[in-house]
Amino acid sequence: MNKTLLLIICDFLLLNLLALTRWEKAEPQRATAGPVTSVTATAASQPAVSADMLDLMRVSLEDERATREALAAQLQSTQGSLTEREKALAQTEQQRAQLQGALATTTSNVKELEKKYSDATNEAFMTKEQLARMQRELDERKAEAERQKAELARMERQNAEARQRIESLNVAVKVAEQEKQLLGQNLEQARTQVAQEREERIKVQEQTTQLAQGVGQLAEKSTELTKEIRENRPVNPNTIFADFLANRVQMQVTTQRRGLFSPSIRERDSQTVLVSDGRQAYALMHVSDTPFSLNVETPPNYQRITGSLASGGTTVPLPELRFLALDPRVVVVPVSAETAGRLGAKVYALAAEPFKFPDVVLVRADDGRYGETTVRLDAADRRFVRVDNRITTRLFGEIAPRRGDLVFAKTGELIGIMVNNDYCAVLGDFAAAQTLPAGENVEQQDTSVVFRDLIARLQRQPDKLR
């Protein structure tokens, strides 16, 4: 074996060693940059002075604080990612240098192999098999060189992309710092505005409290003034009579008693009003507007007493008849609140100051006449007042007082009812002297006893009241 062949074999072994060696290429990991939130500062508009705007400013302050903390954390994360990318870039540059060195060595080896191949071809003793094998190794070395060139190009592109990302991160860091400063300024402005809103709200609350107190006092004074004007302003007699016509109630009472040959039946219809003592409503009438009479010596015992109240198309039966202790000629029928509502008629109130005005208004329900006249108090009995029964020009239609007439105060409230042609019973106490039940069979209750007591009470009245 000569020296030339030994040299070729050694080179061949070196090339095999290089070819079988696995060069591990570590690709630096890409650091994914987190999204950078761009916060656009919006100038806070001037809010209206209200509790809702204060709540909105408080929520905005909390949002800006949270955004500021998130931006600080994101900035710290971005700086860490930048440091890691710089380290990865340095490692990539080092690997690139190593690949360039290996590429140069491989290129040099290829050239040497080509030279040796050329030399070996010229050698007469080299066999065809050795030449074919060396040709294959040469092709493999060329392919490896091409692969390394492609890898080197790829690494260069990655380095360029890494440098571009680093520049983008640097820009994002600067933007984040500017946004951080802007958020700090907005936070200080929000704090100042919240303090101003709080002071303005306190002032508005104080003004509102003062205004509410003033309004309350004004309302009280207005109510008192309205009440005083209403109480001191006389109502026109025409208005009082029109109100009576709109709220009158039709009353019908029917009685039956034994007669000489057949039952005696009497029926009376009258018009009246509903009046209340503050606790109970009553239908008011004079005994002369009923089939009963207190001017007989021997009162009858009635077999049947029935009746009804009607208004607005509604009719309700009479439960009972009460003869007042004030004067037995004054008859009332108790009416419940539910019944009064069904009838739909106004329930008159009793006059609190019946003689505040010297004149009163008389209303006669049966013939629709009314007028204005004067009254005089009776010093002996304040429960009755004397009504001027002289016909004067002040009376509408020259009406003179008559028993059963309703007497109204000039305020529109009810005073009482005429018990005779001269005196009016001033209502106030609706206590009953006797109660006469209504029904189809009342004969067993001996109503004659009730009427004898009522007649006796009337006889005990002073002569001027009979």
SS3 assignment, position 336: coil
Give pLDDT, residue 123.
66
In whole angstroms, what is the distance from residue 238 CA to residue 251 CA? 24
Residue type, 206: E
Residue 159, domain extent: 3-11+47-209
Give pLDDT, residue 47.
45
The CATH number of whichever domain residue 442 belongs to comes to: 2.40.10
- Mean per-residue pLDDT over the chain, rounded: 81
Alpha-carbon distance values, 192 to 188, 195, 206 (Å): 6, 5, 22
* Residues 201, 259 within the same domain: no
* Residues 190, 304 within the same domain: no
In a domain, 107, yes or no: yes
* Residues 202, 244 within the same domain: no
* Residues 111, 248 within the same domain: no
- pLDDT above 80 for 412: yes
Tell me which residue of 364, 415, 367, 352 sits closest to 389, measured CA to CA. 364
* Residues 170, 310 within the same domain: no
- pLDDT above 70 for 245: yes
Q: Are 447 and 436 in contact (CB under 8 A)?
A: yes
Give pLDDT, residue 254.
94
- pLDDT above 60 for 340: yes
Give pLDDT, residue 53.
60
Give pLDDT, residue 322.
95
Per residue in 167-206, is it b (16+ CB within 10 Å) or e — as a string?
A: eebeebbeebeebeeebeebbeebeebbeebeeeeeeeee
Give pLDDT, residue 34.
44
In a domain, 347, yes or no: yes
Give pLDDT, residue 227.
58
Point out the domain boundary residue: 157, 189, 209.
209
Give the rounded percent of residues in the chain with a pLDDT score beyond 90. 29
- pLDDT above 70 for 57: no
- pLDDT above 70 for 392: no
Instruction: List beta partners, residue 145.
Output: none
- pLDDT above 80 for 314: yes
Does residue 145 or residue 398 have the better pLDDT? 145
Point out the domain boundary residue: 209, 229, 261.
209
With a CB cutoff of 8 Å and minimum separation 6, the contacts of 16 are 137
How many domains, in total, are found in the chain?
2
Q: Are 290 and 251 in contact (CB under 8 A)?
A: no
With a CB cutoff of 8 Å and minimum separation 6, the contacts of 74 are 34, 36, 37, 176
* Residues 283, 342 within the same domain: yes
**Confidence bin at 45 (pLDDT 50/70/90):** very low
Mean pLDDT of 309-335: 93
* Residues 263, 357 within the same domain: yes
Phi, psi of 455 (to 5 degrees): -65, -40
In a domain, 288, yes or no: yes
**Maximum mean pLDDT: which of 97-101, 239-243, 385-389:** 239-243
Mean pLDDT of 185-206: 83
Note the pLDDT tens digit of each residue in 13-27: 777 777 777 665 544
Q: Are 384 and 424 in contact (CB under 8 A)?
A: yes
In a domain, 385, yes or no: yes
- pLDDT above 80 for 62: no
Per residue in 332-341, is it b (16+ CB within 10 Å) or e — as a string?
A: bbbbeeebbe
Mean pLDDT of 424-429: 92
* Residues 205, 346 within the same domain: no
* Residues 318, 170 within the same domain: no
* Residues 305, 199 within the same domain: no
* Residues 288, 423 within the same domain: yes
pTM of the complete model: 0.52
* Residues 257, 168 within the same domain: no
Tell me which residue of 451, 448, 446, 419 sits closest to 433, measured CA to CA. 451
Q: What would you report as the CA-atom Rg of the chain, rounded to the nearest whole angstrom?
A: 60
Note the pLDDT tens digit of each residue in 343-359: 999 999 998 888 888 88
